[in-house]
Chains A and B, each alone.
Chain A
């Protein structure tokens, strides 16, 4: 059974310009020890998706659907009940290590607060535990450095502290929202490597959110590619990198600058701009940027699934794919007043 089972999750925001549908019916499963990457551009809804699961949406946000974790639907929990899950069973680390730490508190104060609250450890034990965690993420001289303030740490070290804090209560799931985007490439390589190592050691499940496919190539098992609030493709890491089916996934892969490709050619770019959720085209949301767009794309594209679970939402059928039953699919088509 899946550790986390997300079904038909939707997120919308009430804004002065109208209702924005940020996430439009997402389904995915996460198993114990699995690393799942959720990939997409700004506006794809990838962050709001996990924010909804964690109950951290902004005030004008509304979520529905199901997110079943250990037979409990997280979406139905009160904030008080969620607080027992957050940080303990599901931990989250954010993109910006500079602003995620409180500048007025020492690392020790911030780290011990978590364990003293969740695991009811005494002060002394909590500090020892925190030092161990810092050592695990390779902070040099953790006994000394734990007494320092965030500004005394470099960007990469702060992100390691965030990871250490996320791991303090030995969560079942670690959600990392663009954990390396604000960091230098050299540090990015170290942090992704570290996350992979810790996963192998602890068998926790990880959800990695990123806009850069290359970053997750080495450490994830499965990938969900999102565009304009919908899953456009989903498969194992090898499916996505070696047999991408959706034109958007292919475009994303091709736009990564590679050192092993001819530099004199133009870089492949996906034309147009990230989706504006207030004015999406009808039918396939990607069709105004798609190089393979055709007349049929004006109606809602079918979702294909092959025997091994590789899925693509496009007019083009995937090899060995069968159209997923409409009832299992989302109801977006009906909602938009269209039918197939």
Chain B
């Protein structure tokens, strides 16, 4: 097997915020990402799943150097990106691009589709011939399933799904080797979500991209990922091969996420009336629970979970899990 293109090692991003009045002022620490490690192989898709506040977007930003990590390393082709200065990092970003969640807000409404897609080319290759840029832009439009003659249209003339296609074209125009998609379909209609997922799948195969696909829903991720990482409160709960994860999740949180996915089948849904497998809300990130961060919502809680933080450890089948009881629990779906 070839060497990973991306290695993330013990990455942590902490934010501080001031609270209290002028006199009682104190700093609060929020560990948005708290020691995440994973490898990404060339041409591989890693799905990252978690609820809002789990730190998945912050993780993506930290990998791209858009927020400064508190500790840890991001090795891109063996080079530690956290050690680069802003100018060096800017050049690295040619190779690593991102697609954002809100397809409409992430496009400048005063630029045409063509100008939006071509902008990275002008930025990184200012000497490029005008004709060449236009040809490449038209090629990109075609590649993402838009018509080359839509090049002069403005974002408001496109639907949400089409805007997301423009966002994808912009991120691929520089031929990156890594693409991070941060909830690219969450804002779209169900019928259109599938179009974008299928497009990303095709493009990834065609271009041999390494892909990180972030979502809050395990069902979408399943259609595009080779492996899946489940995050909760800044930590990685489970990293597993897709087939194994969906057949037999190792972490109770993964199972809870799977059980939450609504099934378009009234008979099955009526049976699944019991929602006791996931109690309450995510605790405040300023005040995470001691021990396992999931323990106060976990149906399989034992004493140990409240005292010791479970380490992310490797199981026999090669998958990773952070649960004290992973061996004894059978969470098969």
Contact = CB atoms under 8 A, between A and B. Distances in A.
Given A184-B51, A186-B278, A217-B269, A274 B189 contact: yes
Interface in A258-292: 258-260, 263, 266-271, 273-274, 276
Contact of B266 (A157, A189, A237): A237
Contacts of B272: 218
B246 A259 contact: yes
Contacts of B218: 185, 259
A217 B197 CA distance: 24
B190 A255 contact: yes
Contact of B260 (A41, A157, A186, A217): A186
B198 A214 contact: no
B1 interface: no
- How many interface residues does chain B have, given as a range? 35 or more
A156 B280 CA distance: 10
A214 B193 CA distance: 14
A266 B201 contact: yes
Nearest to B271: A218
Given A186-B278, A266-B201, A258 B264 contact: yes
B203 interface: no
Contact of B262 (A218, A270, A274): A218
A197 to B, nearest CB: 9
- Give chain B's interface secondary structure class: helix
Contacts of A212: 190, 262
Contact of B220 (A154, A193, A257, A270): A257
Interface string B84-117: 0000000000000000000000000000000000
A217 B262 contact: yes
A211 to B, nearest CB: 5
A149 interface: no
A259 B258 contact: yes
Given A190-B275, A193-B275, A259-B218, A269 B264 contact: no
Contacts of B265: 217, 241
Contact of B222 (A190, A237, A257): A257
Contacts of A185: 51, 216-218, 257, 260-262
A154 B278 CA distance: 16
Interface in B178-202: 189-195, 197-198, 201
B266 A211 contact: no
A272 to B, nearest CB: 9
A252 B191 contact: yes
Interface in A172-193: 184-190, 192-193
Contacts of A258: 219, 263-264
B264 A256 contact: yes
Contact of A184 (B52, B266, B270): B52
Interface in A114-167: 140, 154-157
B273 interface: yes
Contact of B219 (A189, A253, A257): A257
B278 to A, nearest CB: 5
Contact of A154 (B162, B195, B217, B282): B282
Interface in A207-250: 211-215, 217-219, 237-238, 241
Given A154-B282, A217-B263, A255 B223 contact: no
Contact of A42 (B189, B220, B268): B189
B262 A214 contact: yes
Contacts of A253: 264
Contacts of A252: 190-191
Interface in B157-215: 159-162, 189-195, 197-198, 201
B242 interface: yes
Nearest to A276: B159
A267 B193 CA distance: 9
- Most chain A CB within 10 A, of B190, B201, B272, is at B190
Interface string B50-84: 01100000000000000000000000000000000
Given A186-B256, A263-B223, A270-B194, 19 more contacts: A41-B190, A41-B192, A42-B189, A154-B281, A185-B216, A187-B281, A188-B260, A188-B262, A193-B275, A217-B263, A252-B191, A255-B193, A255-B194, A256-B264, A257-B193, A266-B223, A267-B193, A267-B223, A276-B159
CB-CB nearest 9 A-B residue pairs: A218-B269, A269-B194, A267-B194, A270-B191, A214-B262, A273-B159, A214-B264, A269-B195, A257-B219
5 contacts: A41-B190, A185-B51, A185-B216, A258-B263, A274-B192
